[in-house]
Structures are given as structure tokens and as C-alpha cells.
Amino acid sequence: MAKSSANIRLVHVKRACEECAVRRLCLPTSLAESDLESLSSLVQRRGPFQKGDLIYRAGEDFNSLFALQSGSVKTYGLTHDGEEQITGFHLVGELLGMDAIGNEVHPCNAIALETTWVCEMPYAKLSELAELVPGLQREMFRVLGKEIRQDEHALMLVRRLRAEQRVMRFLNSLYQRMRERYGLIEEIPLPMSREDIANYLGLAPETLSRALTKLRNDGVIDVTTRSVRFLDMVAVCRLAC
């Protein structure tokens, strides 16, 4: 863990998950009480990570998955020129570290965008338990499949799409993911900077600014520095689907 000063304490999963608003996003609801008890010794709560704190570094050995309990995280690598290339934004209830399972080394850095807490799950022990608990194994495959779909979606964002389409697909992706936690929402929080969004979408910051202005002037969205609201769902679907 890159931030050695982070407070670390063991959490009893059964109690913690009963009190956690995102339990259903991190664990399968079908897990029996006995399975939750078996899982309890695997989970450590880590944090708080403040904005800019690293959760793990590229090149570090992969040992654990991390579930976001609160806050948000961006992952990024470095190009051959040493420039930052953002690979994803991760929200409450989502898992970090899935991209390291194959090579057992983290390919990206993970950095907090705001005050963030994560639940760490050692992967080796989690895998052993998953072999004994079919519900947990199915959930791990489901989450891995979701991660792959998000990667495919990210690739689509930078291929043959106009700037307005890239922006709306990105915003709609955030909206759909947040709906999993909150249900219907009116505003989409934007914890990431405009520069980070532009980097992720493969746009110049000026191009992103023009696209947001056009979408606002066309009555599709209402946007502020830290949030966006959809105004015309027909136009949102036309641009984002």
C-alpha cells in the first residue's frame, strides 16, 4: 500500500456490510450468514485517503482487490513520453485492481480524487474462499465481466466519435453506474477535473470545453464545475447510445 500512514483496521464483514449503503454492489446478496462469517477475516478497511493520495502504484505486486466504500478514484499509467494517460474513474461500490489479476502486477496507479475509504480483500484468500462458495465465485465473474465491458466502452469513446458523442457517452456511463447505488438521480457529481475528463476521452481541454458549452446551449445538459444534470433525455439517448 503506497500510503503507509493510512489508518488500517480489521472490519467484521457481517456487521460492516449490514451498516454499509453499498453492500449489494460489493457482495452478492445471496451469500449465507455462514459465508459472510468466513469472509469476515479477509477484509481490512483502509483510509482515509485524501485527494491525491495513492492507493497503489504501477509496478507493485498484486495482492489484493479494493472495494470503494466511499469517495472516488482515478487510475492512470504513463506514456512512453512520461505523460499521464487516464484509464478509468472508479465510483463507490466498484472494485479496483481487477486489471492486475493476469500478470500479478498493477499496470496502473490508483489515486484518490477526494476523501476515500476502501475495503481491501487479499486475492489469494478470496480465490480460495470462492472455490468453496459458489455465490461468491459467480459474483467475481460478474464483476470481471462488467470490468471488461467498461474497458470496451472506453475504447469506443475514442474511436470515430464526435466530441459531443464522447462526452455524452462518458456522462451517461457515470449516470448509469451511479443509478446502481442511488436509484434515480437528478445530478451527476463530477469529482474529476475537466483536464482529467479530457485526458480520458482523448480530447484537448479546449475541445471538451466547447463540447460542454454546445451541449448546454442546445439544452441537452446543465453543467457546473462539479456536477451535470440531464435536461433532454431524448437527446441524451441519441448522442450516448
139 has a pLDDT exceeding 80:
no
- Contact predicate 48/115, CB 8 Å: yes
Structure confidence at residue 5 (pLDDT)? 36
Backbone angles phi, psi at 58, to 5 degrees: -60, 135
- Contact predicate 203/166, CB 8 Å: yes
**How far does CA 17 lie from the centroid of its chain?**
19
* pLDDT (tens digit per residue) in 172-227: 999 988 887 777 788 999 999 999 999 999 999 999 999 999 999 999 999 998 99
* pLDDT (tens digit per residue) in 107-123: 999 999 999 999 898 98
CA 203/CA 205 separation, integer angstroms:
6
Show the CA angle centred on residue 85, arms to residues 84 and 91, nearest 5°.
110
CA 169/CA 190 separation, integer angstroms:
14
Write down the mean pLDDT value for the chain. Answer: 82
User: 25-29, 63-67, 111-115, 153-157: lowest mean pLDDT where?
Assistant: 25-29
What dotted CATH number matches 160-240? 1.10.10.10
Domain ranges of the chain: 7-155, 160-240
241 has a pLDDT exceeding 90:
no
E strands along the chain, which residues? 7-10, 44-49, 54-56, 64-70, 73-78, 84-90, 95-96, 109-112, 116-122, 188-189, 221-223, 227-230
What CATH fold (topology level) applies to the domain 7-155? Jelly Rolls (2.60.120)
Structure confidence at residue 68 (pLDDT)? 92
Provide the total of helices (H) and of strands (E) in the chain, helices listed first.
9, 12
* CA dist list (Å): 114 to 53, 54, 68: 9, 11, 12
Count of CB atoms situated within 10 Å of the CB of 186: 8
Structure confidence at residue 4 (pLDDT)? 39
Structure confidence at residue 28 (pLDDT)? 53
- pTM comes to 0.81
User: 83-97, 129-143, 154-168: lowest mean pLDDT where?
Assistant: 129-143
Q: Binning pLDDT at 50, 70 and 90, where does residue 125 land?
A: confident
23 has a pLDDT exceeding 70:
no
CA 54/CA 61 separation, integer angstroms:
15
CA 194/CA 32 separation, integer angstroms:
43
Do domains 7-155 and 160-240 share one topology? The answer is no
CA 63/CA 120 separation, integer angstroms:
10
User: 128-132, 169-173, 217-221, 227-231: lowest mean pLDDT where?
Assistant: 128-132
Count of CB atoms situated within 10 Å of the CB of 17: 20
CA dihedral 56, 59, 63, 67 (to 10 degrees): 30
Residue 13 vs residue 155, higher pLDDT:
155
